[in-house]
Amino acid sequence: MRRALVAGNWKMNGSSESIRTLLSGLVSGCQATVAEVLVCPPSVYLAQVTQTLQESPIAVGAQNVSEHSAGAYTGEVAPGMLIDLGCQYVILGHSERRALYGETDQQVAAKFSAALEAGLKPILCVGETLEQREQGVTLQVIGTQLQAVIDHCGIAAFADAVIAYEPVWAIGTGKTATAEQAQEVHLAIRQQLSQADKSIAEGCRILYGGSVNAANAAELFAKPDVDGGLVGGASLKADEFITICQVAGEEKTV
Ligand code: 13P
């Protein structure tokens, strides 16, 4: 049984003050969740968050990382620096980074291998635009994004990784994929992994992201290949995020 994971992607939101309040709500509410809980704050707040969560079961991740380990890369953060701060995870290839900062499949693959090498668990984001869905090429688009990383890093790299399916049209729009749409893509992702290695495919957690909230989480997480969520807006509200984490634990416990 894969342990459910609920990750909060705070994106570029918060201040040290608002984060203090959010974390105190999460720490008291997440004590007894069955699901693994992860928060991914903006990089400048990572130290504050890892320090505050030291004694808590809530894990911390970054939203991006450099593919380089050190050197003349102004403005970038190296994988080893994230480890140094106490991070366990890093989100890679989020559609906002692909669309707004031009990240390519090759760059995402290079970041994935650099993250793993440093000891971070990558969360690889894949997803189609509305136009691609309407053209009927959703599974090809996601297959290409995933295959770039499998080819570059090898299938064994997915033993310590997580995949997040985030349809671009569902991010921040309030328009969630139906549970059936999510399951169809999650199954295709698992089958693609399975062609390379069956046991890695069975163990790899595949999260759904895109307007997940307390009201729709149960239906999404009830699907067999949906192993949790990557949550944006709703992860900024402690009560709602805790509810989503509890729902994930309930849906995935037999
Ligand atoms: P929303 O939950 O705000 O739609 O964002 C999803 C997302 O992009 C998480 O990475």
pLDDT in tens, 128-161: 999 999 999 999 999 999 999 999 999 999 999 9
CA 9 / ligand 1 centre spacing (Å): 7
> What's the pTM value of the predicted model, to 2 decimals?
0.97
CATH 3.20.20.70 is the classification of domain 5-251: yes
Tokens (6 digits) for 179:
């549970």
* C-alpha–C-alpha distance, residues 14 and 44, integer Å: 11
CB 171 near ligand 1, within 6 Å: yes
CA 234 / ligand 1 centre spacing (Å): 8
Q: Which of 33, 42, 39, 34 minimizes the C-alpha distance to 14?
A: 42
Q: Is the pLDDT of residue 254 over 80?
A: no
φ/ψ of 181, rounded to 5, equals -65, -40
Residues in Cβ contact with 56 at an 8 Å cutoff, skipping those fewer than 6 apart: 27, 30
228 neighbors 221 (Cβ within 8 angstroms): yes
25 neighbors 243 (Cβ within 8 angstroms): no
Q: Enumerate the β-bridge partners of residue 124.
A: 92, 163
pLDDT tens, residue by residue, 89-108: 999 999 999 999 999 999 99
Enumerate the domain spans of the chain. 5-251
* C-alpha–C-alpha distance, residues 201 and 194, integer Å: 5
CB 127 near ligand 1, within 6 Å: no
* C-alpha–C-alpha distance, residues 53 and 27, integer Å: 8
* C-alpha–C-alpha distance, residues 96 and 195, integer Å: 29
Catalytic residue selected from 67, 94, 103, 186 = 94
Tokens (6 digits) for 135:
């053209």
4 neighbors 221 (Cβ within 8 angstroms): yes
pLDDT tens, residue by residue, 21-55: 999 999 988 877 789 999 999 999 999 999 999 99
Residue 51: exposure state from Cβ atoms within 10 A (0-12, 13-18, ≥19): exposed
